[in-house]
Every structure is written in C-alpha cells, then in structure tokens.
C-alpha cells in the first residue's frame, strides 16, 4: 500500500519550497523538519502584536510597536564602528532609528528622507531618548497589508530566521490539500473543531494570544489527530496480536486455593479484583494483553503467580521473564515457597546453565515436567521448547516494548501476555505507552507494610549520617547508600561510587561495605548482591542499578546522595527498596544546598506522600512527559502538537474512538477508515499501515 497522491507535495524535498535553497535546507533538520509536512506540525509558540498605532506614545517601552512615520535626517556614525541614526516622526512625537554596521546608501534607499514608511520593532528609552534599534520591518505604506496584525513566532535554529521560517511555512500552507474527515462526526460537532486544513491554517495564522493556547480549537484538533493516529497504531497492533489464535485457559481453582490457604494474610481488594480480571481474560478465546500496574510493595508477585497457576490448572505452562538475572533469581525466591504449598514445579533458566544441566532442564520443559519457568529473555532462545506455554509474564515493562510484545506473538506462541510494572504512571501516559493493552491497577498496600520515614538532610551533616549508619550496623541492620548520577557519563559516576565505597569502608570496617554499579561484570555484580542479600555485607554502595525490584527485607535504611538531582519517580522507586521487613525503615534524602524551588518541591512531595500514583501525577506536572520515563528508552512517542500534561483527557477519547473505529471497520476500508489511513500516512505511522496489510 503506497502513500496517497494528495500528500506527495507535503513529502517533497524542502528545497521545493519558495525561499529554501540547498544550503538552508540542510539547517532545518535541527528543528526536526525533514519535509514540508514537518513544518505543518511545527507550530508557533508565541506571537508579536504588530497592529498599527498612531504613535509610539500608545505603548509603554520597552515594547514592540508598529507606526507610520515620516523619515527625517540621517546622521552618519560619529566614529568607526559606531551606530548610524535616522530621525523619524510619527503622528505625535519624534524618535530615532539606530543601525549598526549599515552602509549609508543602503539606509538612504531603505528610508528616503521626506518619505513615509511603516516601521515595526522594539521601542526602548536610552538616556531619556526613544529609539528603535534595527526595526524588524520597514515597508512602504502601500505594502502595509503584508504585515500580519499578529505575527507568529517560531522555534528557530542557527541559520534559520523568523523571516525564512514564515516564508517556508506560507509555502507549505499553500500545498495543504482538502482531506476527507477521519474524526467521528459527532465528536467533531460536540467539540466544535474545524476541518483539518482549516485547523492547520488557523494554527499557523493566530489572530491573538488566545489562538496560541493548547485549548484553542485549531490546536486541540491537531493534537487530537496526533493522539488518534497513535492510538490507532496501538489498536492495530493489539488487533494483530489478539487475532493470533488465543486459547481458553480455564481455572479449576484447585492450586490457587492451596496457595491462598498457605498465605499468612488475605489478598487486598485490589489484588482480588486484578486476579479476577486476569482469570476472565485467560478464560476467553482471545489472547490476553494486559498490564498489571502496581506501586512499590502492592503485591504484584502474588497476582502474577495466581495467573501462572491458572495456566497450570488448565493443563499448561507459564513463564516469567525479568530484565536481569538478579531479578529473575529474586522472582524464583519469592515464587518457590508459594509453589511448594501447591506442589507446582518452578525452575530458572539463565545464562549460567550450561551443558548437561541445561539439557536436563530443556527436556523437563519440553515434557511438561516444569510448570513455571523463570528467566531473562534467554527463555526465548531457539532451543527452548515448551510443552504447552499458555501465559508469559513480563516484568518491568519499559525495557520490553511493543516490538518485543509482538515478537512473542511471532514465535507462534499463542500465549496470553501479562506485563508487570512497578512504576506508577499517570493515566494519560499509560495510554500513550500501553494503549494496546488492558490495564489492571493495584492501588492498595497489603496489610502489615509499615510506612517508611523520609527525612531531608543537608550534605553538611554527612558525619551525622555515617554515625547513624554505624549504630544501625552495630544493631545488625542493613542499609543502601545510593550515589548520584553526576554526569550522563557513567565513568564519573563510577569514580563517585568508588570514592564513597572507599571512605565508608574506612569508617565502618573492611567486610561491612559492598559496591555494585552498572560497569561491573555481571558475575561480580551478582556476587556483591548475593553477599548483601545473605547479610554477609551490611552496607551496599550502589549507583541506581538497584532501583528496580531488589528485595532484601532486612535492609531498613536508604541513603540517597544528591537526592535533588534525581527524578521523583526514581526517588520513590529507590525508597521502595526499604520498608519490606519488620523493622522501622528510614529514607534519608541528602541534598546539596541551596535547593532550587522545583527541587525543594520534589523532595517535599516525597516526604509527604508514599502514594506512587500521586507522586507520578506531580512528577508529570513538574517535568513533562518526555522526561518522566526517559523518552529515548521508553517507547513513548514524541508528540509535536499534543501536550500530554494539559491534554490528558484527549488521549482517553482518542483511545476509545480508535478502538470503536476498528471494531466497526477492522480493515479501515469504509469512508472514515480510508480517511484514517491518510491520517496514518500524514503522521508518519507507516508501521501501522503495514499492520493493516498483515490483517
């Protein structure tokens, strides 16, 4: 399927636009502009009022003003390199225009003495005299119509001026085709949105400041188009994934009942709700694609294990995948006791398994003697064959994106998929990132989890903190000491962590302190973690590698150095590493004064709340979506117009609209479906077009 002809002019080379030559065309990519189409989605971020006034007295300087003047005397520069001045008079007063490095004959041509001109620029008072340095516009009175009353201001890059940008955008707007409508007519009427072509023109030709706001109808419509096209892509991915033959896995409840009976506590309401949602999905003929979202310590492991038991009760197998071997081993440790109470066989498969041992595990797996396999994504290597795999549980989503989810399907494994993430994500982002999945949320803490006391400590009190630590170690408690990511470069962080390790070892004693960081060989990292888990080492100095999933119930102190440079979600994750056992736990946020307002606000929120979802909403409001989950590695799309913080509601509408359209017209062959295909081409979602053809 190829790009619709109506869009060709928007996908031509930039050099085909008026005013853009081969040299300037090379400058635009720095703005994310490769084709004329990209200019349509590069909207002005501000505007300048260029309405004509009678006199500069109508504004309070410094301010931009547009007036008609009579040109008076030219005064050449007094000294070499000094400014040239031109006296002008408007309806009420006289002032000066100032030009640096201007040739006299050029100025005489631009501003002939005795003639009238329209000038626009910034008026300032200098030594009591009103002056305008280098006016933005000088026009003959007959050209006055060329100056917009409200001039849009675009983002720029070196070598690209506002004039060039305005010219390129105008040339692109002239190419905008009339396209058939892809938005649901009832929704469009209810919201009062303009047609696509009108919206694009209006967004680039604002009539005043209100037209620049995210809620302006033209901008809202363009944002919606972006979100709708994104959700359409995710829904297509979901459809293709679910079309892969699913199998009904019906629970008998026999094994689950044994595990629940062996638990010392009752599951929370949220856990019970999630278990029911998952069991219902697994019992249906369609493939499950569900996200289990839960805060630190909300009991995701139990819910995931119950889901794995459904697979086993139905006569099949389950697999649980973690991003690292450390985490895979932890899952094994937490699942084993549960599995034993139900007589279920759980095994781990990792890079360490070699030769005969590995071969034996693979035989047991193929024969169905292993019910639940735990591992890294090594569990999907060619020689790993399941007897009857029905459920894949994937831990820590953002290391495992849509592409890998689809790959699972392509392996011909018709397994249901459950993805777990411990990062609470605001709803708008969850939809952006996981719009192809259904979501279960664990928003209650299991009984018996104690709150973690959080305190702010200035770096000047370092000795006190070490004293506190020495006492805790003497009492047999364990602690994490997290070093900051000073630079993006891991080497600098490494030296920071190694220095801290040496100083603490000198203060607390030889065998007491361990070190773990991202640059270590995996075997060394595992050994350091193992020593800490077993209690042989009592203080673990670490970079943020310990953020996700490490479970040491005896660790009750978390020290985070330079806490002010971490993101909120990250701090919340780190704090979640303590407070897992019987002891009262403390998290010390060490900061370097003076704190900026935002850093202080971040640390205060953390001190006040342990609710990951509230923290995530605050984080989104403070930092924006791209930073929140590190756009580069998150698979979060970069939207050019849509603003996920301010337009969260639009995302939910876009998702239900996209799903409804595909339910009514799975092949996008109807009139609205065809229009939606054009939108997918327009927004560069070519991968979605391929998904339709797969369908």
Residue 629: pLDDT over 50: no
Residue 456: pLDDT over 50: yes
What is the predicted pLDDT for the residue at 204?
96
Three-state secondary-structure class, residue 514? strand
415-451: per-residue pLDDT in tens?
888 988 876 676 666 666 676 678 888 877 766 677 8
What is the predicted pLDDT for the residue at 634?
39
What is the predicted pLDDT for the residue at 354?
86
Report the alpha-carbon distance of residue 226 to residue 637 in Å, rounded.
Answer: 10
Residue 492: pLDDT over 60: no
Nearest CA to 10 among 34, 36, 29? 36
Residue 624: pLDDT over 70: no
Domains delineated in the chain: 5-47+156-213 (no CATH), 51-147 (2.40.50.140), 254-442 (3.40.50.300), 452-609 (3.40.50.300)
Write down the mean pLDDT value for the chain. Answer: 84
Check: pTM over 0.85? Answer yes or no: no
CA triple 486-492-498, angle to 5 deg: 105
* DSSP count for the chain of H helices, then E strands: 25, 22
Residues 98 and 134 sit within 8 Å (Cβ to Cβ):
yes
229-280: per-residue pLDDT in tens?
988 888 887 777 666 667 888 889 999 999 999 888 889 999 999 999 999 9
What is the predicted pLDDT for the residue at 495?
67
What is the predicted pLDDT for the residue at 626?
39
Residue 609: pLDDT over 90: no
Residue 41: pLDDT over 50: yes
What is the predicted pLDDT for the residue at 545?
64
Report the alpha-carbon distance of residue 671 to residue 258 in Å, rounded.
Answer: 55
Query: What are the residues whose beta carbons fall under 8 Å from the beta carbon of 623, sequence distance 6 or more?
Result: 567, 568
What is the predicted pLDDT for the residue at 219?
95
pLDDT > 70 fraction of the chain, expressed in percent and rounded: 86
172-193: per-residue pLDDT in tens?
999 999 999 999 999 999 999 9
What is 565-606 written as a DSSP string?
GS-HHHHHHHHTTSS-SSS-EEEEEEE-SSPPHHHHHHHHHH
87-101, 117-131, 149-163, 427-441 — which is least confidently predicted?
A: 427-441
528-577: per-residue pLDDT in tens?
888 898 889 999 998 776 655 567 888 899 999 988 888 777 788 888 88
Query: What are the residues whose beta carbons fall under 8 Å from the beta carbon of 688, sequence distance 6 or more?
Result: 229, 232, 233, 236, 237, 680
**Phi and psi at residue 357, to the nearest 5°:** -60, -45
Three-state secondary-structure class, residue 375? strand
User: 3-state DSSP helix/strand/coil percent for the chain, to nearest 5?
Assistant: 45, 20, 35
In residues, how long is the chain?
695
Over its C-alpha atoms, the chain yields an Rg (Å, rounded) of 32
Residues 357 and 426 sit within 8 Å (Cβ to Cβ):
no
* Torsion from C-alpha of 359, 362, 367, 373, nearest 10 degrees: 150
Q: What is the mean pLDDT of residues 351-365?
A: 90
Contacts 24+ apart (CB under 8 A), 385-389: 386/317, 386/319, 386/413, 387/317, 388/315, 388/316, 388/317, 389/316, 389/317, 389/318, 389/319, 389/413, 389/415
What is the predicted pLDDT for the residue at 625?
42
Nearest CA to 241 among 386, 110, 414? 414
Q: Is 74 exposed, middle or buried (0-12, 13-18, 19+ CB in 10 A)?
A: middle
pLDDT, greater one: 557 or 639:
557
Residues 265 and 236 sit within 8 Å (Cβ to Cβ):
no
């Amino acid at each position: 399927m190829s790009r619709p002809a109506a869009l060709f002019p928007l996908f031509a080379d930039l050099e085909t636009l008026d005013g853009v030559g081969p040299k300037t065309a090379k400058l635009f990519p720095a703005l994310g502009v490769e084709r004329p189409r990209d200019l349509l989605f590069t909207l002005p971020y501000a505007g300048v009022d260029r309405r004509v006034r009678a006199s500069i007295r109508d504004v309070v300087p410094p301010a931009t003003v547009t007036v008609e003047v009579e040109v008076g005397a030219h005064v050449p520069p007094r000294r070499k390199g000094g400014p040239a001045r031109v006296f002008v008079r408007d309806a009420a007063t006289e002032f000066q225009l100032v030009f640096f490095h201007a040739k006299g004959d050029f100025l005489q041509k631009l501003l002939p003495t005795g003639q009238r001109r329209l000038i626009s620029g910034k008026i300032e008072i200098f030594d009591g005299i009103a002056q305008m340095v280098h006016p933005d516009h000088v026009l003959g009175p007959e050209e006055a119509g060329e100056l917009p009353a409200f001039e849009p201001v675009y983002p720029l890059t070196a070598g690209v001026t506002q004039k060039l940008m305005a010219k390129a955008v105008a040339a692109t707007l002239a190419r905008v085709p009339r396209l058939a409508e892809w938005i649901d007519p009832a929704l469009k009427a209810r919201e009062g949105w303009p047609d696509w072509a009108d919206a694009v023109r209006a967004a680039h030709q604002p009539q005043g400041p209100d037209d620049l706001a995210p809620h302006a109808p033209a901008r809202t419509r363009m944002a919606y188009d972006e979100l709708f096209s994104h959700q359409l892509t995710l829904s297509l991915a979901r459809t293709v994934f679910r079309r892969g033959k699913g199998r009904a896995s019906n629970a008998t409840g026999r094994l689950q009942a044994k595990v629940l009976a062996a638990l010392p506590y009752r599951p929370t309401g949220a856990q019970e709700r999630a278990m029911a949602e998952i069991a219902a999905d697994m019992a249906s003929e369609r493939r499950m694609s569900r996200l289990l979202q839960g805060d630190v310590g909300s009991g995701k492991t139990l819910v995931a294990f119950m889901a794995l038991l459904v697979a086993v009760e139905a006569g099949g197998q389950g697999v649980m995948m973690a991003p690292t071997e450390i985490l895979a081993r932890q899952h094994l440790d937490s699942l084993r006791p549960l599995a034993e109470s139900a007589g279920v066989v759980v095994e781990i498969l990792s890079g360490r398994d070699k030769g005969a041992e590995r071969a034996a595990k693979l035989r047991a797996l193929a024969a169905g003697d292993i019910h639940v396999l735990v591992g890294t994504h090594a569990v999907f290597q060619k020689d790993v064959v399941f007897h009857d795999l029905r459920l894949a549980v994937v831990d820590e989503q953002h290391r495992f994106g849509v592409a890998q989810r689809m790959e699972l399907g392509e392996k011909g494994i018709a397994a249901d998929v459950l993805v777990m993430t411990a990062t609470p994500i605001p709803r708008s982002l969850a939809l952006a990132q996981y719009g192809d999945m259904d979501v279960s949320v664990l928003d209650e803490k299991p009984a018996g989890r104690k709150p973690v006391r959080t305190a702010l400590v200035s770096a000047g009190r370092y000795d006190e903190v070490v004293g506190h630590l020495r006492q805790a170690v003497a009492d047999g408690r364990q602690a994490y000491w997290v070093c900051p990511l000073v630079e993006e470069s891991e080497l600098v962080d490494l030296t920071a962590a190694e220095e801290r390790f040496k100083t603490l070892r000198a203060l607390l004693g030889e065998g007491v302190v361990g070190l773990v960081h991202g640059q270590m060989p995996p075997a060394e990292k595992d050994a350091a973690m193992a020593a800490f888990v077993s209690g042989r080492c009592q203080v673990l100095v670490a970079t943020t590698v310990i953020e996700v999933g490490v479970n040491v119930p005896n660790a009750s102190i978390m020290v985070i150095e330079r806490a002010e440079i971490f993101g909120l979600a990250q701090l919340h994750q780190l704090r979640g590493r303590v407070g897992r056992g019987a002891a009262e736990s403390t998290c010390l946020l060490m900061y370097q004064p003076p704190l900026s307002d935002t850093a202080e606000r971040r640390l205060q929120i953390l001190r006040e709340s342990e609710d990951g979802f509230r923290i995530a909403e605050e984080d989104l409001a403070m930092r924006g979506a791209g930073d929140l989950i590190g756009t580069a590695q998150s698979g979060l799309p970069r939207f050019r117009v849509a603003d996920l913080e301010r337009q969260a509601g639009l995302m939910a509408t876009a998702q239900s609209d996209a799903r409804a359209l595909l339910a009514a017209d799975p092949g996008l062959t109807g009139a609205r479906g065809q229009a939606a295909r054009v939108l997918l081409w327009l927004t560069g979602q070519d991968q979605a077009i391929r998904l339709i053809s797969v369908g």
